[in-house]
Amino acid sequence: MSLLAIGVSHRSAPLTVLERVALDADGVRRLSAAALAQEQVGEAVVLATCNRVEVFADVATFHGGLAQLGEALSATTGVDLADLKDHLYVHYADRAVAHLFTVACGLDSMAVGESQVLGQLRSALRSAQHSGDAGRVLDHLVQQALRVGKRAHAETGIDRAGASLVDAALLRAEAVLGPIAGLRVLVVGAGSMSALAATTVHRGGNRWITVANRTPAHAERLAAAVEGRAVALADLGTALADADLVISCTGAVGHVVDAATAAAASGLRDGRPQVYVDLALPRDVDPAVAGLTGVDVVDLQVLGADLAEAQFGDDLGQVRVLVDREVSDYLVSRRVQAVAPTVAALRARAAEVVEAELARLTQRLPDVDDVVRDEVQRTVHRVVEKLLHAPTVRVKELAGRTDGGTYEAALRELFDLDPKGVASVSDVSAVAVPPTEVLR
């Protein structure tokens, strides 16, 4: 079995495609179940965020696993594979490990250096553990990725590398409306991203924050935390008319703010400018709202372009070095673990031979003194142990090399070993095959 990662993100697809493949918690469970239903897939972990959907899987073969995971992704999202395949990216074996570690460090995020993806990855693993979709291979790998991500934030300046989505959005809003502290702000939604937005605005000195949410208790809780007020989602039209800045991130399916409602609210503002910040995927704000006079809409696509233009210093280089080293160490440890069954089989074979020969000696010389028999046994065991020591130690050392699998194979061939039930993971070379060549 080998690791395969397949997905679509802000780096490979436009916002319109990301909207179509976006998954809620139920969708994640369905995708994971669809992946595990395939004969090529042994384990799976699904990572779904506002700008990516990825499946990490332990597969029997590259081509078979890629084809079946592509079908599972298409069936779950409802997007035809012909429309999806041009936006998919695929990583295999060592490159899949490197991609996962890169994602965990925030290097692949729209807002480079953000740490929110660590929590999202942790939740994805917890869900896969609970359902049994993550076994020994992926459990260990994702745990390692989380550790690498933590190291990146603790040991480098990655946190300073780029602005968060919220910070970038607020800069856009200030360019149109002026200082955030003096604006009337409406936050639609009460989830983690909405809470981050409300907290950031409040920390900047703003005291006119209104929170609207489908669940009143959640809205009231967030509003209390930022010294604001809560309103029912049914009163959204009135709240929109009163707001200079609207920040929305609900996770709802369909537009929370339609063009008609936004137009009515804008008509009540006497020409005062208004900015909508849409951090949701699928989008909360109807794209047609951007066509209204005096209204600006900032969505993930706009923010992605802003953040892509940012220039970063040595912090990113330090994280990339860290990721490279961690990937190398992980692959070496996997190769060393892979030879363990062969070493165990060799020692078991030696023990069988020793036992058989000592039994034969006892039959041929039944009158041998017990003291002599014990000494013969100890001597034979010492000889065998010394003969096995060098090859077993050496094969573990050589396993750390990229060609280490050849030495393990030679050992199995020379001693006619059969470590049953053990799949070699020594082949960690990348397979650079475009998904369009396989997903047909």
Q: Which residues form the catalytic set?
A: 50
In the chain, what's the furthest Cα-to-Cα distance? 114
Distance (Å, whole) CA 231 – CA 214? 9
Q: Provide the pairing of β-strand 185-188 with 245-248.
A: parallel
8 Å CB contact between 424 and 408: yes
By the 10 Å C-beta count (0-12 exposed, 13-18 middle, 19+ buried), 328 is classed as middle
8 Å CB contact between 93 and 2: yes
Distance (Å, whole) CA 85 – CA 63? 14
139: CB partners within 8 A, 6+ apart: 125, 128, 129
CB atoms within 10 A of CB 367: 4
358: CB partners within 8 A, 6+ apart: 376, 377, 380
278: CB partners within 8 A, 6+ apart: 248, 249, 284, 285, 297, 298, 299, 300
What's phi and psi for 211, nearest 5 deg?
-120, 125
SS3 (DSSP) at 299: coil
DSSP alpha helices (H): ranges in 105-233?
116-131, 136-155, 165-177, 192-203, 216-225
CB atoms within 10 A of CB 342: 24
101: CB partners within 8 A, 6+ apart: 144, 145, 148, 149, 323, 326, 327
Residue by residue, DSSP assigns 208-271 as: -EEEEESSHHHHHHHHHHTT-EEEEGGGHHHHHHH-SEEEE----SS-SB-HHHHHHHHHTTTT
| DSSP summary character for residue 86 | G
CB atoms within 10 A of CB 284: 24
8 Å CB contact between 165 and 316: no
Q: What burial letters (b/e) apply to 126-152, b meaning 16+ CB within 10 Å?
A: ebbbeeebbeebbeebbebbbebbebb
